[in-house]
Structure 1
Amino acid sequence: MSVATSDIETISPGSGFEPVKDAVLIAGPTASGKSALALAIAIQTGAEVINTDSMQVYDVLRVLTARPSPAEEAQRPHHLYGHVPPSAGYSTGQWLRDIAHLLANSEGSGRRFVFVGGTGLYFRALTGGLSAMPPVPTEMRERWRARLSDEGSTALHALLAEKDPEAASRIGSADGQRIVRALEVLEATGEPIGHWQKKRGPSLVDPATARRLVIAPDRSLLRARIDTRFDGMVGAGAIDEVKALVRLGLDPALPCMKAIGVPELASYLRGELALDDALEQAKAATRQYAKRQETWFRHQLGPDWRRIDAADRIDPSVFG
């Protein structure tokens, strides 16, 4: 493959880019066992594991976001886990640029890759390309995020409705991150975000040769796994992770501060909730999130994705 730069926004189908062939893609709701399956396939095939989950990019929350353990990472190379500070936002476009850089550096090495995670938009971008969004100056981005914190999403949505009615009609008034994104792109380029969303880039993974799995476990089994896993997270240090995160004094609107378990355990640390109540609320939030993931996968991942009801039903040797 040939990628001239790590900035995916400069890649076009005519630039000599060749998508990665024979990639394995594993999607699934939280606690479905997909990370263990990915590692098993990577060990069997000599592949490397690439994070495809928007929360596992943050460096503070290894336990609470169920990132692979150091022992698991030592068995096969893992990429794009814990490389983003919690003080930063991280978009699908940024993730795709990181992927482009990683894949460009793998040219000629014969490396194989397993992409695993629960963020549907990442998978869509891998195989279907992503809108060629322009870069936004850091100062401008920070200024809009400060306004979001000071004025709230409803006020900025009203502003967006004046400046870009089409985008405002597609974005809910409570979706502060998307509202700010539309406003900053408009200011930076003079063009509405819809203009850029129509300019799609290339696929980084060849959809014709990719093997795609989506894990769709039994709902009652998944609920039990979620509850058991969260209890295990607490025993493994999740509360200490949240304590360290809270000490940073970050903007509560940042994605990392909204990770499931962070608001609930932070409330416990402030003395606002008993521990049992915080745990139950976090488990309930995890179950709700898993349900949203399942709905998205069901409606957005087509028939070229193989549905399996449990990760351990797949024999990793078939990928060798």
Structure 2
Amino acid sequence: MTKPTIFTLMGPTASGKTALAMALSDRYPIDIISVDSALIYRGMDIGTAKTSKAELQRYPHQLIDIKDPLESYSAADFRQDALAAIKISLNKGRIPLLVGGTMLYFKALLDGLSPLPPADENIRQKIEAQAAKEGWRAIHQELTKVDPISAERIHPNDPQRLNRALEVYLITGRSLTELTQDKGDSLEYNVMQFAVSCDDRELLHQRIELRFMQMLAQGFENEVKELMIRGDLNLNLPSMRCVGYRQMWEYLSGDISYDEMVFKGVCATRQLAKRQITWLRGWKHPIHWINSDNQKNFFNLFSQALDE
């Protein structure tokens, strides 16, 4: 029996993925499924360059605005939600198109996930308490003893990943490195993958800077002020570590100047794009490379894929 086909559209931030997906939706019965770890959060619209409400009404996106910024959301959560959205789309006779730049989510979906244990809040709190007393470098040193490979990969100033790696060992008695060698269930679909090429890096950098300035003009500062007023958010949360939000938070807290915020925000976004491109260049799955400025070529490739 022939497996159903799903489609992916990947690429770095500001490369034009969403515009391509919406243009494609004008021609085909597409269901857009977001693959973006920032767009999941409600109340974080401007700084994430979230599709406007008017556009979302015309081009509905799945897996947008599904979490409060206080909540956590893992790659495993994404895979479960994405598979459910794909199934619903196929059952309606439509075409699932997964669009975004969170490569870890794409990898979780396509390659499966290792059988890692769920989070244990008690253990996490103990690790955080130890870190508050001794510092995260002490946690990093402890991780080095039980999982040197993960310790080498994780920066000593990355509390979230350090906590998780040590937590996994304390729960299971096995290292994160060991457990991640085992993969979960494979994907039950054929996958046709497209990715936006970014050969002109300078043009991409210009787009990133322009978009950041547009965010500022649209009220990004006030958006972060509203998040700070809540009183229950902080910079250690995954939501507030999203590109741009950390820098704006630091500015509003008086830690950096406005100009520093702009400079650091643009630089952080460029660094994110660089990491995304690196992921794509090393992607082990076959990719059809496209240019965001050449919609006709993309449409032709997509049409050929549907006919195969």
With the shorter chain as reference, the TM-score category is: 0.7 to 0.9
Q: Does 1:159 align with 2:142?
A: yes
Aligned to 1:312: 293
Q: Is contact 1:26-1:215 (8 Å) kept?
A: no
| Distance of 2:74 and 2:95 partners within structure 1 | 25
| TM-score (structure 1 length as normaliser) | 0.83
* Number of aligned residue pairs: 300
| Distance of 2:278 and 2:224 partners within structure 1 | 29
Q: Is contact 2:235-2:246 (8 Å) kept?
A: no
Identity %: 36
Aligned to 1:229: 211
The Cα of 1:264 is off from its aligned counterpart by: 2.1
Post-superposition Cα deviations, 1:40-92, rounded to whole Å, max 9, x if no partner, equal 22332111111112122222211101111111111122111121221123221
Aligned to 1:44: 27
Instruction: Rate the CA distance shift 1:184–1:272 in 2: closer, same or farther, 3 A.
Output: closer
1:239 aligned to which of 213, 221, 224: 221
Q: Is contact 1:19-1:203 (8 Å) kept?
A: no
Q: Give the 3-state SS of the residue equivalent to 1:311 in structure 2.
A: coil
The Cα of 1:288 is off from its aligned counterpart by: 2.2
Q: Is contact 1:30-1:290 (8 Å) kept?
A: yes
Q: Does 1:81 align with 2:82?
A: no
Instruction: Rate the CA distance shift 1:296–1:150 in 2: closer, same or farther, 3 A.
Output: farther
| Distance of 1:50 and 1:165 partners within structure 2 | 37
Q: Give the 3-state SS of the residue equivalent to 1:251 in structure 2.
A: coil
- After superposition, residues 1-320 of structure 1 pair within 5 angstroms as 21-106=4-89, 108-145=91-128, 147-148=130-131, 151-204=134-187, 206=189, 208-247=190-229, 248-298=231-281, 300-302=282-284, 304-308=286-290, 310-315=291-296, 317-318=299-300, 319-320=302-303
Q: Is contact 1:22-1:211 (8 Å) kept?
A: no
Q: Which region of structure 1 is more displaced relative to structure 2, 29-38 or 276-285?
A: 276-285
Post-superposition Cα deviations, 1:17-37, rounded to whole Å, max 9, x if no partner, equal x99732221111111111111
Q: Is contact 1:182-1:192 (8 Å) kept?
A: yes
| Distance of 1:269 and 1:63 partners within structure 2 | 16
Q: Give the 3-state SS of the residue equivalent to 1:44 in structure 2.
A: coil
| Distance of 1:50 and 1:146 partners within structure 2 | 38
Instruction: Rate the CA distance shift 1:242–1:28 in 2: closer, same or farther, 3 A.
Output: same
Q: Is contact 2:113-2:183 (8 Å) kept?
A: yes
| TM-score (structure 2 length as normaliser) | 0.86
Unaligned regions of 5+ residues in structure 2, if any?
Answer: 304-308
